[in-house]
Chains A and B, each alone.
Chain A
Amino acid sequence: MGNCIISREDWSLHRKGELDKERHQEKVREAIKRNLPEILSDEAIIMSDGKKIIKVPIRSIEHYHFRYDFNKQKHTGQGSGGTKVGDVLGKESGSAKGDKGKGAGGLPGYDYYEAEVSLDELTEILLEDLELPHLKNKSKDKITHENYDFRDVRKKGLMGNIDRKKTVYEALKRNLLKNSENLYQITQDDLRFKTWDEVEKPESKAVVIAMMDSSGSMGPFEKYIARTFFFWLVKVLKLKYQNVEIIYLSHHTEAKEVTEKEFYTKGESGGTKCSSVYQLALDIIKQRYNPQQYNLYAFHFSDGDNLSSDNERCLQLVLELLKVCNLVGYGEIEGPYYYTATLKNEFKKITSPNFVLTSIKDKAGIYTALKAFLKKDG
């Protein structure tokens, strides 16, 4: 016929779809950034232990048109025979995913856009606005660790570490200098060996001392805030340090070291003496974490309702902590009760740049607290 032509072209340069996809993903990232305070406090994310990919709901990435209300519309479908009035096809719009691919249509339900991001990605986005808490003079923090690095080539060494390329090169060079292209003989003098140096590599370690008030006034909301905060704090610190350890300290009038589970679940009652936990933190640092070797971060959550006679002592101990820690933070969660004289007022006297004071009112406050804690170096 000659009227039909069939061909195969080189499409390797056709990248339009990929480029626009990237632009869309960029917009997703922007949207995530805009919604960060909400997203960070999303329980589903914190609970997704072990799961790498999380789904983040973003409504603002949708492109809007005038359209019918899907949920109020009457639709037509097709069964495989014998369908009767009253038959249930599915629940909610989310389940109306029956049709794939070809066909009149994936009916458009209410779809807020769900972006899939990994926790690491989210942490990275989080970090675009933040910076890791600065280390103190770094040389102090380094612990020397023997590491091997092959970075020198020498004439003597073990046969197992022979550098073939360099050796042949030497032989070639020698032969060429003698105007001979003969390569059969490799002399002792040509041999080159890879040699290692012993290097001192800093192995960074960080310890987070998570302190929480477990007195009667700390309810589930306060604990949730604390938990979420520590979750992200540890995520962020892990980007900087190979090892991040968390020590959980819980207190009312007395302080003790507890497990992670106890930290978040245990509720106690009674009065509050915050100094007890600061003292315990200092003791633990003294016994187990030499400030020369560890980057120490101490953070305390409380509702601020402290025994007023204890406030002065708290201030003294926090100043002690500031001497050994990279950063000390105090987060006061403003519960439904308001106190006139809270611990916060006492701590306002501290002028050290390594001390951070924040108050948290709601879930979005977690992001603010993180920002306060991880702000860039002034």
Chain B
Amino acid sequence: MEELTYLEEAVEKIGEIAANLGLDFFPMRFEICPAEVIYTFGAYGMPTRFSHWTFGKAYHKMKTQYDYNLSRIYELVINTNPCYAFLLEGNSLVQNKLVIAHVYGHSDFFKNNWHFKNTNRKMLETMSVHARRIDEFSFRYGKEKVEKFLDAVLSIEEHIDPFEGIIKEQSKKKKAKETKNPYADLWFETDVLKDEEEKEKKPVKDILGFIGNNSRYLEDWQREIIFMVREEMKYFWPQLKTKIMNEGWAAYWHIRIMRELDLDENESIEYAKLNAQILQPTRFGINPYLLGLKVFEDIEKRFGKEMIFEVREIDCDVTFLRNYLNEKLVEELDLYNFQKVGSEWRVTEKSWEKVRDNLVLSLNNCGFPYIEILDDDYGKNGELYLRHRYEGIELDIYYLERTLPYVYELWGKPVHLETVVDRKHVLFTFNGEKHLRKIIEGSGKY
């Protein structure tokens, strides 16, 4: 197979260049796949993930766009050790070289960025175990039942607390240091009580985990599904958090690496075209490849090469843009804020600080609304009280009222959500039969 030999050569050569340039990546596994397979991975986030119709819908959409030549995923990388990358069958050699170079950048990022420190690098296997478990449940309890339950769980999958484990450990250490009495840990009983009290008062961000632990209406297999989905979301979280940085970093490196390769004239032209395509600005959003790349290049210019390696280690998109997106870049990249005015989408702000702040705000909590549990015994009736931490952007009420019944399904008792609509605090309730809405004074119960 000639193609494979060419590719093997390219992979080896590019790996060498990448290492010489200072990249530190996991061992690599490249695999060539047909489009259907690549798009399955794209839609599911992982080749081995469990089945659900929402993934089928996403797959269908991606595949259709591919079939009509509207878009193309050239590559997929998976944050595992060894690091797996899937190349699209039918890519030309130059396309593949670019993709391979790009993938080395991702692998370096996965391995070195702080936010990936705690991710399960065996997720490929873990997810395949999950998928098999869910298949078993479908067989035992019925496909429809499991699907319906997954509908509910997936509707709040992003409401987890990715730092839960880390913060707990740190605060324990802190506590141990603070206490003067070296035998304090022997008095565990009082300590435990104090902890419990504290926990009750503190809002809980990990809605999924809390429900999995505390809902009285779930069967064991249902709890198991909740914790599997939660674990998978925890795995995806750092990727969502560093999308702009990660793509920018990979783009930065594929450009450098491609420069080192001896491309002939035709290859150079093909490469230039492809690169321009990848780095095209998008009017209704941000192209993470382009924005990330430009910010990294700017950091390098201002602070030197070492600095970009440091940034890729400690930052996430929010801090990356907050710290390094400056006036000159906003101007140069022609970034702007836009919003709906009447029936038109209009550019409303060009001031660099407003652009930066809006971008940072929109990336907060990976772009998901920040919602926490304030009370799990609201009205002394075991009802669940959620609060949306309003930061200036209102929730989609149509969606809100259709998501609450899912939470109800998981909790088994009436569910309330406090948020802000038109500057007023509003409490949305679903009691199992109907929706209620009421305006509450100040910040409601709390």
Which residues of A are in contact with B by a Cβ distance under 8 Å?
A: 1, 3-9, 11, 14, 16-25, 27, 61-93, 95-107, 110
Instruction: Provide the bound-state CA to CA distance between A104 and B281, in Å.
Output: 10
Q: Is the CB of A101 within 8 A of B72?
A: yes
Interface majority SS (helix, strand, loop, mixed), chain A: loop
CB pairs A–B below 8 angstroms (18 shown)? A3-B27, A6-B31, A64-B399, A65-B399, A68-B394, A69-B396, A75-B338, A77-B335, A78-B283, A78-B336, A80-B281, A92-B345, A93-B340, A93-B345, A99-B284, A101-B71, A104-B282, A106-B285
Q: Is B445 an interface residue (CB 8 A)?
A: no
Instruction: Provide the bound-state CA to CA distance between A328 and B355, in Å.
Output: 69
Q: Is B236 an interface residue (CB 8 A)?
A: no
Residue of A nearest to B401 (CB): A64
Instruction: Provide the bound-state CA to CA distance between A250 and B8, in Å.
Output: 77
Q: Is the CB of B288 within 8 A of A104?
A: yes
Instruction: Provide the bound-state CA to CA distance between A84 and B338, in Å.
Output: 11
Of the residues B151, B284, B288, contact of A96 by C-beta under 8 Å: B284
Q: Is the CB of A23 within 8 A of B56?
A: yes
Residue of A nearest to B290 (CB): A78
Chain B positions 30-50 with a Cβ under 8 Å from a chain A Cβ: 30-34, 36-37, 39-40, 43-44
Q: Is B393 an interface residue (CB 8 A)?
A: yes
Chain B positions 312-365 with a Cβ under 8 Å from a chain A Cβ: 333-340, 343-350, 355, 358-359, 362
Contacts of B338 in A (CB 8 A): 74-77, 89
Q: Is B187 an interface residue (CB 8 A)?
A: no
Q: Is the CB of B281 within 8 A of A78?
A: yes
Which residues of B are in contact with A by a Cβ distance under 8 Å?
A: 1, 4, 7-8, 11-12, 15-16, 27-34, 36-37, 39-40, 43-44, 51-57, 59-60, 63, 65, 70-73, 147, 151, 154-156, 158-159, 243-244, 278, 281-291, 333-340, 343-350, 355, 358-359, 362, 368-369, 371, 388, 393-400, 402-403, 406, 417
Contacts of A62 in B (CB 8 A): 402
Contacts of B40 in A (CB 8 A): 14, 16-17
Contacts of A16 in B (CB 8 A): 40, 44, 51
Given contacts A66-B369, A67-B368, A101-B72, contact A76 B290 (CB under 8 A): no
Q: Is the CB of B284 within 8 A of A98?
A: yes
Q: Is the CB of A24 within 8 A of B285?
A: no
Of the residues B30, B37, B284, contact of A77 by C-beta under 8 Å: B284
Q: Is the CB of A84 within 8 A of B283?
A: no
Q: Is the CB of B32 within 8 A of A8?
A: yes
Which of A66, A68, A73, A90 counts the most B-chain CB atoms under 10 A from its CB?
Answer: A66
Smallest beta-carbon distance B54→chain A, Å: 5
Q: Is the CB of B288 within 8 A of A88?
A: no
Contacts of B282 in A (CB 8 A): 77-78, 98-99, 103-104
Of the residues B155, B156, B345, contact of A89 by C-beta under 8 Å: B345
Smallest beta-carbon distance A372→chain B, Å: 31
Q: Is the CB of B336 within 8 A of A20?
A: no
Residue of A nearest to B317 (CB): A104
Smallest beta-carbon distance B104→chain A, Å: 10
Contacts of A70 in B (CB 8 A): 396
Of the residues B15, B31, B52, B343, contact of A9 by C-beta under 8 Å: B31
Q: Is the CB of B393 within 8 A of A68?
A: yes
Q: Is the CB of A101 within 8 A of B350?
A: no
Residue of B nearest to A81 (CB): B334
Q: Is the CB of B286 within 8 A of A76?
A: yes
Q: Is the CB of B334 within 8 A of A99?
A: no
Q: Is the CB of A107 within 8 A of B284?
A: yes
Of the residues B37, B287, B396, contact of A67 by C-beta under 8 Å: B396
Q: Is the CB of A79 within 8 A of B285?
A: no
Of the residues B4, B284, B346, B349, contact of A6 by C-beta under 8 Å: B4
Instruction: Provide the bound-state CA to CA distance between A269 and B16, in Å.
Output: 89
Of the residues B52, B348, B362, B393, contact of A20 by C-beta under 8 Å: B52
Given contacts A6-B11, A63-B155, contact A22 B337 (CB under 8 A): no
Q: Is the CB of A3 within 8 A of B284?
A: no
Which of B53, B71, B393 counts the most A-chain CB atoms under 10 A from its CB?
Answer: B53
Contacts beyond the supplied A4-B28, A69-B395, A99-B287: 17 A-B pairs with Cβ under 8 Å: A4-B12, A8-B1, A11-B34, A16-B51, A18-B59, A21-B57, A65-B158, A66-B159, A74-B338, A74-B349, A76-B359, A82-B334, A88-B345, A91-B343, A93-B345, A101-B73, A103-B286
Instruction: Provide the bound-state CA to CA distance between A23 and B30, in Å.
Output: 31
Instruction: Provide the bound-state CA to CA distance between A89 and B147, in Å.
Output: 40
